[in-house]
Structure 1
Amino acid sequence: MISLPRSRGSQFYLLQLLVVAAGLVLVLFGSWRLGLHVIGAAFVGGAVARAVVPVEHEGMLRVRGRTFDIFWMATLGVALIALAIVVPPN
């Protein structure tokens, strides 16, 4: 039987991994723009989750310091979304 992680941060982290996996599947099957939007949104959502989850419930969502995690996840998410927007179509 599969059980969910106990901490709220770990649950958000698991959700983020699942959304990134879904985005990678979209990229794999040719819809790379939509896939990058999905992956970018997952990272922006992870940054928001890291900002609002209390310290005692961070779990696997915590990698380094709060500011570092929020900054890099938000930057990566926005960069991926911007990349999907600015690359010209064929």
Structure 2
Amino acid sequence: MALRRPSTIGGACYLTVLAVAAAGLIVVATGHWRAGVDLLAASLLGSALARGVLPEDEAGMLQVRSKFLDVSLLIGVGGVLIWLASTVPNAG
């Protein structure tokens, strides 16, 4: 099966977001959970930026709901992840 290129800029951004999120999960699995959660949050914030900047016809799979709601939710969840990773105390 041949791989296809994304048909929109948003599709390429979506694949980048997935790659960064996967890297974050790998970092979490190796025991560095704060850095991994920060990578996950960065992927969400990056997708919010891409969704906010790209026009509707180029957003690809980043477009789920209205632009305002998509960007608001992505920024909110990304911000909460950063906040949680920075405020949870170390065990011990």
CA distance in 2, matches of 1:31, 1:86: 15
After TM superposition, the structure 1 = structure 2 runs for residues 1-90 of structure 1, keeping only pairs within 5 Å, are: 1-90=2-91
Give, in whole Å, the separation in 1 of the partners of 2:76 and 2:5.
28
| Unaligned stretches of 5+ residues in structure 1 | none
Query: Normalized against structure 2, the TM-score is what?
Result: 0.93
Counterpart of 1:61, as a letter, is L
TM-score, normalised by the number of residues in structure 1: 0.95
Larger radius of gyration: 2
Runs of 4+ with >2 A deviation: 1-4
Report the 3-state secondary structure (helix = DSSP H, G, I; strand = E; otherwise coil) of the residue aligned with 2:44.
helix
RMSD between aligned residues: 0.9
